Amino acid sequence: MALTVKQEKRLLSSTLFAGCNMQKYRPLIQTLSPTSILKGQHIRSLSRPTSALGFLLDGCLDLYNSNGVLFYTLELGDFFEIDPIFSHIQTVLPWYLRARTNTVVTFFDKPVMLSRLEEDPVFARNYMHIRADFTQNLTRQLDHFTAVSPSVALALYLLGNHTQYLLKLPDGLAGLARRLNISRATLYRALSDLEQRKLVAHHEKTVHILDHGKLLLFAYNQSHVQGDISIE
C-alpha cells in the first residue's frame, strides 16, 4: 500500500527535503509504504529493514531504555533511528520505541539514504541538520539526568521544551516524572520549589514559565555552585 496524498505531503514538507527538487523526489516517495503500529506495540516487533531511517507520519512514539525510563517522545513529523542506520557500534543495552497512540510510520532503507546523500548535497545538508538536532536533544536529556538537583533538572527541561513559555503535559506530571527519571513526589517538590521562587506557575497539565531569564540564571548558577561560578 502506498502513502496517501496527505502522508506524501507531510513527508515532503519535512526538514529532510527542505530546498530539494520535489518533482525529483516524488517517484521515490511513491515507492514507500505506511506501517501501522498499534498503541503499546514496539517498533522492534515490526517486519522492516534492519537499517533504515524512520519517519513519524501520525501518532506518537516513546523511547524507553531497558529499565523502563522514558528518554524522550517522538511526535508527528519527527525522524527516528537516526544513529543506528550508519553506526557500526552495537548497543549493549537495548532501547525500545513504543507507540503511545495508534501510530503510522514509514522507512527509508540504508541503500536509498546512501544514494541520496551521495547525489544531492541539499539532501545531505538537511540530514546533517537532523543529526545535529538529534545530538543536541540527547545532550539536553543528559543534562536532565545528571542535574545537581531535581529542581535544576525540571528547570532545564522547561527551558528546552517550552513553546512561548508554556509547556503542555498531555500525560500529566506522571509522564514528566518518567521523562526526568524521578518519582512524582520528587517532581512535586521540585515544582513547588520553582513556584516559590516565582519562576513558574503550574495549573493542571500545563507549566508556565513566568521569568525565562531568571529561570535560566537559576539553572546555570545552581549547576556551577560547587565551582563558585555564577552569572549575574
Split at pLDDT 50, 70, 90, the class of 142 is: confident
Q: Is 174 contained in some domain?
A: yes
User: How far is it, in rounded angstroms, from Cα 142 to Cα 114?
Assistant: 30
Mean pLDDT of 171-196: 91
Q: Is 176 contained in some domain?
A: yes
Q: What is the CA radius of gyration of the chain?
A: 20
Q: Specify whether 121 is located in the same domain as 203.
A: no
Q: Is 204 contained in some domain?
A: yes
CATH number of the domain where residue 201 is located: 1.10.10.10
State which residues form the domain around 215: 149-227
Greater confidence (52 vs 171) lies with 52
Q: Specify whether 54 is located in the same domain as 94.
A: yes
CB 191 within 8 A of CB 200: yes
**Distances, alpha carbon 210 to alpha carbons 187, 188, 215, in Å:** 18, 18, 8
Q: Specify whether 43 is located in the same domain as 123.
A: yes
Q: Write out the three cell numbers for 212.
A: 525565562
- Domain end (from 119, 144, 169): 144
Determine the pLDDT at residue 230.
44
**Distances, alpha carbon 155 to alpha carbons 100, 110, 144, 221, in Å:** 25, 38, 9, 12
Split at pLDDT 50, 70, 90, the class of 47 is: low
| Phi, psi angle pair for 225, to nearest 5° | -65, -35
Q: Specify whether 10 is located in the same domain as 117.
A: yes
Q: Specify whether 122 is located in the same domain as 154.
A: no
Domain count, the chain: 2
Mean pLDDT of the chain: 88
Task: Evaluate if residue 229 carries a pLDDT over 50.
Answer: no
- Domain end (from 124, 144, 164): 144
Mean pLDDT of 60-84: 85
| Phi, psi angle pair for 231, to nearest 5° | -125, 150
Mean pLDDT of 200-224: 93
> Residue 181: left if φ>0, alpha if ψ -120 to 50, beta else—which one?
left
Split at pLDDT 50, 70, 90, the class of 46 is: low
Q: Specify whether 113 is located in the same domain as 213.
A: no
Q: Specify whether 126 is located in the same domain as 166.
A: no
Q: Is 48 contained in some domain?
A: yes
- Domain end (from 144, 159, 187): 144
Q: Specify whether 140 is located in the same domain as 153.
A: no
**Other CB atoms closer than 10 Å to residue 210's CB: what's the count?**
14
Determine the pLDDT at residue 153.
92
Task: Evaluate if residue 108 carries a pLDDT over 70.
Answer: yes
Determine the pLDDT at residue 228.
47
Q: Is 170 contained in some domain?
A: yes
Q: Specify whether 127 is located in the same domain as 157.
A: no
Spatial CA neighbour of 161 closest among 120, 209, 123, 224: 209
2-42: pLDDT as tens digits: 999 999 999 999 999 999 999 999 999 999 999 999 999 99
Q: Is 232 contained in some domain?
A: no
Determine the pLDDT at residue 31.
94
Greater confidence (199 vs 136) lies with 199
Q: Is 220 contained in some domain?
A: yes
Mean pLDDT of 131-148: 84
Determine the pLDDT at residue 123.
97
Q: Specify whether 132 is located in the same domain as 172.
A: no
Q: Specify whether 134 is located in the same domain as 213.
A: no
CATH number of the domain where residue 93 is located: 2.60.120.10
Q: Specify whether 139 is located in the same domain as 160.
A: no
Determine the pLDDT at residue 225.
61
